[in-house]
Amino acid sequence: MNNTMMTVIPVILYLTMSFGVALWARKKSESSGSSKGFLEDYFIGGRSMGGMVLAMTIIASYTSASSFVGGPGVAYKLGLSWVLLAMIQVPTTFLTLGILGKRFAIMARRTDSVTITDYLRARYKSDAVVILCSVALIVFFMAAMLAQFIGGARLFQTVTGYPYIVGLILFGVSVVLYTAIGGFRAVVLTDAIQGIVMVVAVVVILLAVINAGGGMENCIQSLKAIDPGLITPTGPKDAVPQPFVLSFWVLVGIGILGLPQTTQRCMGYRDSKAMHDAMIIGTLLIGFMILCAHLAGTLGRAILPELPAGDLAMPSLIVELLSPVWAGVFIAGPLAAIMSTVDSMLLLVSAAIIKDLYIHYRLKGDASRMTLVSIKKMSLVCTVVVGLMVFVAAIQPPDLLVWINLFAFGGLEAAFLCPIVIGLYWEKANSTGAISSIIIGVGTFIVLTIMKPAMGGVHAIVPTTLASLTAFVLGSYAGLSRSKTGQAAG
């Protein structure tokens, strides 16, 4: 048996296990018996997640191709400055559950919400808010999934030597099918398994890199010899200026509260003990994983200094430093991160189309007008069609997929951050404010991303968030005035 086959076999076994979980979850969902019960089980797992599973699924859905391939790829180019920047993501789980968790779960149960858009519909009672959010979710999730598809295929290509298109087909078919078959319960269970695989993988890869470099001190000295800027807080030629670092606190620090794929998890946990356990477990694990992965990318330049693209750093290190079988086992780590992000997004896009648009507007919100078989067929078709569209777009991949991922992040935050967070805590928030915030926020982000005006190193998400927040507050006061005028006239 040649080395390539020895590498591929563990990957195939891993994918087979994911299908097994999906089939079990499908059988579990079928026991729900009614259309409404199936939807709740398929999209949020019957609100039954414990602390460990909740922590691992938030980590797994947040970490992605960018965390394991794109981020370490930029760290390979920019050195320790990017490691420092990446650590801003450490409080992700703590912030998500601490700020949104309890209140969001109470609201979701009270309003019988199954999706983020369900909650926004109940909160703002506005069709415009629902439609705008559904469209934003579908568009930006497609961009985010594109980055994941490219990352997965490129990883497979580098490790096995097979063509990029083979990796794209294997990865795309696997993730689409197990998501379509198993729904939320399969997604969170595979996320939990994938989270454990990721933790083990990053530790082994980092240790292998340090060992190959002759120890940490030698690695740092090698980086200094290549470019002294690689071991400074601002990177080579000040590539990571202070305004850019501050911007990242908004983009991947505060802004993650506006990411539907993580906030959706707040609807699915069992009780407050599960939430508190997840806050601690998730924060510790995500910090550990991000540090190990990005440090491996940075130090990897001391081992392989001449790679043509940063995205090749992590897969090349795995191939060079691990035996074929172990490379196959540990390639499942980044593959797991990628798959866990894609499955969450596929599920939410499917929910947006079926639950938020079709059932609400076509069936007037009455899911019982569809048979259980029809809903299952529709969920399968939606997931497969969306996955196929992303697959086609990923056939010609650009370099440095981290930037595609950050574009999707920014767009989702521009649309959802204010309506979700402020809507939870500010009684005066209303649909006029939410609509203004979404339109101004997304419009500002797209214009700044395309035009790229000089902003002194500040990322587009900072002015976008300020514009979105201002529009939300002013719009809400304008909405209140109209409401009072209407009442007075009545």
DSSP string, 296-364: HHHHHHHHSTT-S-GGGHHHHHHHHHS-HHHHHHHHHHHHHHHHHHHHHHHHHHHHIIIIIIIIIIIST
Distance between first and last Cα of the chain: 82
Higher local confidence (pLDDT), 144 or 83 = 83
- Per-residue pLDDT for 93 more than 90? no
- Per-residue pLDDT for 122 more than 60? yes
* pTM of full prediction above 0.85: no
Structure tokens at 429: 């928030």
* pLDDT above 90 coverage of the chain, percent: 14
**Among 84-98, 120-134, 415-429, where is mean pLDDT lowest?**
84-98
Residue 455 — very low, low, confident or very high, per pLDDT cuts 50/70/90?
confident
Structure confidence by residue, pLDDT tens digits, 284-297: 888 888 899 899 99
Q: What is the mean pLDDT of residues 265-283?
A: 79
Structure confidence by residue, pLDDT tens digits, 351-402: 778 777 777 777 777 767 777 677 767 777 887 888 888 888 788 766 555 5
Residue 177 — very low, low, confident or very high, per pLDDT cuts 50/70/90?
confident
Structure tokens at 73: 């790829």
CB proximity list for 401: less than 8 A, separation 6 or greater: 65, 66, 69, 70, 147, 150, 151, 154, 311
Question: How confident is the prediction for the chain on average, in pLDDT?
Answer: 79
- Per-residue pLDDT for 490 more than 60? no
- The whole-angstrom separation of Cα 199 and Cα 212 is 20
Give the Cβ contact number of residue 104 at 10 Å: 23
- Per-residue pLDDT for 35 more than 60? no
- The answer to whether 340 touches 194, Cβ cutoff 8 Å, is yes
DSSP per-residue codes, 421-474: HHHHH-TT--HHHHHHHHHHHHHHHHHHHHH----TT--THHHHHHHHHHHHHH
Phi/psi at 233 (nearest 5 deg)? Answer: -65, -20
Q: What is the mean pLDDT of residues 45-49?
A: 63
Q: What is the pLDDT of residue 475?
A: 93
- The whole-angstrom separation of Cα 242 and Cα 84 is 12
Q: What is the pLDDT of residue 209?
A: 92
- The whole-angstrom separation of Cα 276 and Cα 286 is 16
Structure confidence by residue, pLDDT tens digits, 184-196: 666 666 667 767 7
Nearest by Cα to 411 from 468, 488, 371: 468
- Per-residue pLDDT for 1 more than 90? no
Q: What is the mean pLDDT of residues 232-261?
A: 78
Q: What is the pLDDT of residue 349?
A: 79
- The whole-angstrom separation of Cα 210 and Cα 202 is 12
Radius of gyration of the chain (CA): 22
- The answer to whether 437 touches 468, Cβ cutoff 8 Å, is yes
- Per-residue pLDDT for 473 more than 90? yes
- The whole-angstrom separation of Cα 346 and Cα 261 is 10
- Per-residue pLDDT for 436 more than 90? yes
Q: What is the pLDDT of residue 476?
A: 93
- Per-residue pLDDT for 150 more than 70? yes
Nearest by Cα to 113 from 104, 100, 124, 103: 104
Q: What is the pLDDT of residue 489?
A: 47
